[in-house]
Structure 1
Amino acid sequence: MDLQQMRYVVAVAETRNFTRAAERCSVVQSSLSHRIAGLERELGVRLFARSSRRVELTGAGAAFLAGARECLAAADRAAADAAAAAGVVRGRLAVGVIVTTAAVDVPELLQRYRARHPDVRVVLRSGRSDELAAAIREGDLDIAFLGLPQDQPPSGVETLVLDHDEHVLVVPAGHRLAGAARVTLRQIAGETFVDFAGGTPARAQSDQAFAAAGLTRDVAYEAAIIELMTGLISRGLGVGLLPSAFVRPLASHSPGLALVPVVDGPRRIEYLAWSRFNPSPATRALLDVLGVRGRA
């Protein structure tokens, strides 16, 4: 068997379709199907269960897929390391980012990175801080921008603190508190809230602050999209607590929103996180673009 056959298997497993897999691999479908059939004969097992409408991994195929991904990742890393030794950064860089990242202008950063290292394929994934940290530990991400409660740093990854921030109260412009100089959690505990989904790190920051103050609140609207959250707030359906560094630029362009400092509100820390185990040349190159030297 060879690496190309493994790439074909991974492509079919991920797309569940031979035609789309062939398109991804830039080959004709007949060639891809022939190579996979040959691999199945060589292994003596069926990797895929096929019908006219469905393609699914068999048990043997699922077992093969895990090893194939590891082999391909090792081969890609070997090629990237060889290129780096010659002074050229190549390969793949998987970057994770939370939706409320504010300490770094990620699009601007990736633009500078591409200008320096055009041979690196950058992929971007958005998600929760805990999910992104876990993906780094599992090798699915190389580096990520996280935001967590100040007493809950990420574990099992290398980190750099990028910024400390505090949440502000976000209310509709006509709200009774819109012009207040500051508020306390007790003053706003009776409001209806818009927040992130329960159990997420973004939600935990506010939940923990209210719990520490011995207060409860009503979260009627849960969302993961900031535009939806601020839209609900601007229409008077609730109020929210969001990181100040992130929400202030949004509010400056949204006349329907007002921001109010919260005396005892949530605090969070933004982190840059990456693998503790042998970061790739592409990861080291991004750290260099960020000015983080000698940490990887």
Structure 2
Amino acid sequence: MDLEAVRTVVAVAEAGQFQKAAADLSITQQAVSKRIAALERALGVRLFTRVPRGVEPTIDGQAFLPHARELLRVAERAVASVRTGRRPLRVDIIASRGAASGLMRGFHHAYPEIDLDVLMLLDIDTAIAAIRSGTVDASFRAVAAPGRPLPEDIESVRVLDEPLQLLTGPGHVLAGARSVTITQLAGHRIWMPGIAPGTEWAAYYDDLVAAFDLTIEATGPNFGSDALLDTIADTPALATFMSEQTRLVWPAGHDLRRIPVTDPTPVYPHSLLWHRDNPHPALATLRTYLANTAAGHGAAGTWVPDWVIPR
């Protein structure tokens, strides 16, 4: 159905005259007549009848008008959903408890007037495909893993280096330490179920193991963070790595310990990715916010794999 003809029907019904409707629509009166006639032929009914002061809807016209108005409202919502600056800014944060989630919560508090859609995409290839298609506007990732260069149309900026901490239960031999050096962790069992092969964090931990002769076990099913915390609390032989800003809640009886790692401190690099031609105005606002508020990167005494883009 021709939406312009539908719009003309509504305009004529509200104006009561073809001439006034034409002026309201900025078209000629002849164009109004042609649109109405074409729609009447398509519907097989008369929509208007002439009266002394102009026109008024017929019975069929009265039945059609509520649906015509709804068609126009639906069309406007459809346009608004994709119109730059009118639709929400869509950002992939990977996980709800991580540093990227905290950064976006801070952005939302700073700019509550900006509509946000927050997504969680597991795989970097999926995230990049979504950025290129416009499904999302930006994604937080560690870039670029070995053999996984970014496409030329994808821009990135490193926004945050997040320190890793050692998480132990109360019975672990290192539980009482105020900090541990990375070399002290050699020979200890570090359990991290759920490291998915081919992901950027799998590449990160592969390099961490190789650089410092660590033992990271990714065995067993991944039942989520609650099950991981239960096991760490009850198993003195196991510890795990946890990013500094990961939000965790555990029962008081677990008595878990978050211990800083030093000399050097392994940090997980978070970069923001976006398409270079993305016109959403809120994307520029987000980038400026991150540049001004994120903790930065490349501090002395920290470690990242050599494949991480430095900027």
Normalising by structure 1, we get a TM-score of 0.55
Taking the TM superposition and a 5 Å limit, the aligned residue runs for 1:96-245 are 96-99=92-95, 101-102=98-99, 104-113=102-111, 115-117=112-114, 120=115, 122-128=116-122, 130=124, 131-147=126-142, 155-156=150-151, 157-180=154-177, 181-184=179-182, 187-191=185-189, 193-199=191-197, 200-214=199-213, 216-223=215-222, 225-236=224-235, 238-245=238-245
Partner Cα separation in structure 2 for residue 153 and residue 271 of structure 1: 15
Residues 142, 161 of structure 1: alpha-carbon distance in 2 compared, 3 angstrom cutoff: same
Partner Cα separation in structure 2 for residue 286 and residue 185 of structure 1: 38
Structure 2: stretches of 5+ with no match in the other structure: 4-74, 293-311
The answer to whether structure 1 residue 91 and structure 2 residue 94 are counterparts is: no
Partner Cα separation in structure 1 for residue 149 and residue 80 of structure 2: 25
Normalising by structure 2, we get a TM-score of 0.53
Of 144-153 and 273-282, more deviation after overlay is shown by: 144-153
Q: What SS is found at the alignment partner of 1:106? A: helix
The alpha-carbon deviation at position 228 of structure 1 amounts to 3.8
Partner Cα separation in structure 1 for residue 155 and residue 144 of structure 2: 17
Residues 148, 231 of structure 1: alpha-carbon distance in 2 compared, 3 angstrom cutoff: farther
The alpha-carbon deviation at position 148 of structure 1 amounts to 5.4
Q: What SS is found at the alignment partner of 1:260? A: strand
Residues 108, 192 of structure 1: alpha-carbon distance in 2 compared, 3 angstrom cutoff: closer
* 1:176 partner amino acid: V
Report what 1:40 is aligned to: none
The alpha-carbon deviation at position 168 of structure 1 amounts to 1.9
* 2:156 partner amino acid: T
- Contact 1:182 1:261 (8 Å CA) reproduced: yes
Report what 2:272 is aligned to: 272
- Contact 1:206 1:266 (8 Å CA) reproduced: no
1:105-158 per-residue CA deviation (whole Å, 9 max, x = no partner) reads: 323423443x323xx4x3221133624344223322111223458989972322
- Contact 1:171 1:234 (8 Å CA) reproduced: yes
* 2:138 partner amino acid: I
Report what 1:284 is aligned to: 284
Of 168-177 and 188-197, more deviation after overlay is shown by: 188-197
- Contact 2:137 2:278 (8 Å CA) reproduced: no
1:150-187 per-residue CA deviation (whole Å, 9 max, x = no partner) reads: 98997232222222233222111221111233143574
The alpha-carbon deviation at position 212 of structure 1 amounts to 2.9
Q: What SS is found at the alignment partner of 1:239? A: strand
Q: Between Structure 1 and Structure 2, how many residues are aligned?
A: 210
Partner Cα separation in structure 2 for residue 261 and residue 270 of structure 1: 19
* 1:161 partner amino acid: R
- Greater C-alpha radius of gyration: 2
Residues 289, 76 of structure 1: alpha-carbon distance in 2 compared, 3 angstrom cutoff: farther
Q: What SS is found at the alignment partner of 2:192? A: strand
* 1:158 partner amino acid: E
* 1:155 partner amino acid: L
